[in-house]
Chains A and B, each alone.
Chain A
Amino acid sequence: QAALTQPASVSGSPGQSITISCTGTRSDVGLYSLVSWYQQHPGRAPKLMIYEVTKRPSGVSNRFSGSKSGNTASLTISGLQAEDESHYYCSSYAGGTTVIFGGGTKLTVL
């Protein structure tokens, strides 16, 4: 299974909104509503930010939102804050017993 495709980097200024895309195929992102997004700070374990495409775990800011269209899922962060600077990974169920991740996107807050 090939990895999901994410942009290597995105950036934005405080207060702005950014969107990170995650492109798969009709066998993974396009077929299942099991896309999740994880935030990972350097040296730390990943943290779940969005699950089932659009749902936010308790404790995650409502500035984080998810969506999906066709084979592409997206993570949008509104009202950017310095603390949002991190790496973000998307993940999708790919059928059978397989789970796949995206290559990751480094978010820089300017």
Chain B
Amino acid sequence: EVQLVVSGGGLVQPGRSLRLSCAASGFTFEDYGIHWVRQAPGQGLEWVSGISWNSGTIGYADSVKGRFTLSRDNTNDSLSLHMNSLRPDDTAVYYCAKVGVRRLYYYYMDVWGEGTTVTVSS
């Protein structure tokens, strides 16, 4: 079964850092791009960041550029979203999602993890 398991969420103070992880199983991880999407309480989906299968292409939404860093470890079938200088408006459920086509940065997201909640508050 293709699966993505997201972890690392929690309560963090403004200005602090947090690292989210996305662990993959059931598919050849090194062949697929992965994206992060977040959803603030009661709001819609917002694309956050994406990384291609070989880390050759990495993108960020303007709202997180310069504060978030996305990386992947194809040896361990995992990737990490390092979030620095967190702000209250970063509060959201964070999902990781797999790109549906091999060896492309983006086409569509066909498998989603269940998400982890990040709350930024003092």
Contact = CB atoms under 8 A, between A and B. Distances in A.
Interface of A: 1, 3, 34, 36, 38, 40, 44-48, 51-52, 57, 87, 89, 91, 93, 96-104
Interface centre among B50, B58, B108 (most CB of A within 10 A): B108
B107 A34 contact: yes
Interface of B: 35, 37, 44-47, 50, 57-62, 95, 97, 100, 105-115
A52 B44 contact: no
26 contacts: A34-B107, A36-B109, A45-B95, A45-B114, A45-B115, A46-B95, A46-B112, A47-B112, A48-B109, A48-B111, A51-B107, A57-B110, A87-B44, A89-B44, A91-B45, A91-B47, A91-B108, A93-B107, A96-B59, A97-B59, A97-B60, A98-B61, A99-B50, A99-B59, A102-B44, A103-B44
Given A34-B107, A46-B109, 4 more contacts: A89-B44, A89-B45, A97-B106, A99-B59
B110 A99 contact: no
Contacts of A3: 44
A98 B114 contact: no
Contacts, number: 72
A5 to B, nearest CB: 11
A101 B92 CA distance: 16
Given A47-B112, A51-B108, A101 B45 contact: yes
Nearest to A96: B59
Nearest to B58: A97
A46 to B, nearest CB: 6
Given A38-B45, A48-B100, A1 B108 contact: no
